[in-house]
Amino acid sequence: MAGNRAPDDGADDRAPDDRVPYDRYVHAGTLHRLQQTNTGDPGEMSFLVISQIMELYFKLVDFELRTAQRALRDDEVWTSLAPLRRAALHLEGLNASWQGLRWMSPADFNRFRADLGDASGMQSAMYRQLEFRLGLKTASLIRPHRVDPEQHQALRRTLAEPSVWDDAIAVLARRGYDIPAALLERDHAVEHEPDTAVETAWADVLADDGPGNHLRLLADALTEVAEQFAEWRYRHLSAVRRAMGAKSGTGGTNGVGWLERSMNRVVFPELWSARTHV
């Protein structure tokens, strides 16, 4: 009988399909079943869990950027600031994730690297979504995702849509800045090329330090996002150098060389060059 059981004996008479409310909301049990390592090396668990954490951060940052874009398209600059600031903070958390892999030397990585097969972090669809959202667009990079039609279609949509930077530039045009129509109506699947008119507009925005200048606050929020994303790319490069030197990447890229070239593509370029003219 239930009355004869000690209150804290750990027994659970709930229905088998019932769950603790926390698990029902967070799905922690599901999350903890997703770590399926390929080897018996204990270091692989760190590598896998941290990779999964990063995937969740990619999704979270992308979610915030999409929220900010909706506000910018409605010309609600003030409303866009909160999700942009959250995105920057989430990127800080993402960057901190690399700390959990600082133990990994080339010998450590080699103990399980072969069992990764052709898998590579550069094949992450959610990371690619994030790059496209920030304006770093390369159509050829969606080809590996053709094996998953849903994933491939989602990437094609994001590739063709305006980026956060495109939406910010459109706000400038609506606020009276002289932005060429050709720039606003261009093919958004092609990466944005820096434009002097955009640079001039942002220089004017940054020069106005009045308390009511929401566009300057937008510039500040975008700057923080760009800085944190640049930090992510630098930490990625550092982690690869630490773990494998200049070896080819597991997915067939040339590893360090690929990452070094990617760092040369600047997020929100005129936001940086405009500062020279303030």
Residues annotated within the binding site are: 113, 236, 250
Residues 19 and 23: their CA atoms lie apart, in Å, by 6
For every residue of 77-138, DSSP letters joined together read HHHHHHHHHHHHHHHHHHHHGGGGGTT--HHHHHHHHGGGTT--GGG-HHHHHHHHHHT---
Torsion sign (Cα): 193, 196, 198, 199: positive
Residues 226 and 223: their CA atoms lie apart, in Å, by 5
- The annotated binding site for substrate is made up of 113, 250
Residues 115 and 58: their CA atoms lie apart, in Å, by 25
Q: Which secondary-structure segment (H or E) carries 62?
A: helix 43-73
Short-list 210, 221, 219, 230, CA closest to 270:
219
- The annotated binding site for heme is made up of 236
| Tokens at 189, concatenated | 């699947």
